[in-house]
Amino acid sequence: MATAPMKEGNRIDEVVMYGGIDRSKFPELKAGDERFISDVTAHFGPANVPARYG
C-alpha cells in the first residue's frame, strides 16, 4: 500500500513514517527518527538482545 507524496502545505511533522517519501532527505525528520530510535533503545534495549521477562 503506497501513500500519496507530500502535498504543498503539509506540516513536516505530519509526514507518514513508512512509505511515500525518503525521510532521510529531510534533516528534521532524520533527526527525529534518530532521536526516537535512541530513546526506545535506551528504554527497551537493543533489538539484538532477547527480551527478559520476570
Percent of the chain with pLDDT over 90: 19
Q: pLDDT confidence of 38, banded at 50, 70, 90?
A: very high
Nearest to 15 by CA among 5, 24, 25: 5
* pTM of the entire predicted model: 0.56
What does the pLDDT read at residue 21? Answer: 77
Helices vs. strands in the chain: H and E counts, helices first: 1, 0
Is 34's pLDDT higher than 90? Answer: yes
How far apart are alpha carbons 27 and 2 in whole angstroms?
A: 23
Q: Which residues does 15 contact at the CB level (< 8 Å), separation at least 6?
A: 6, 21, 23, 26, 29
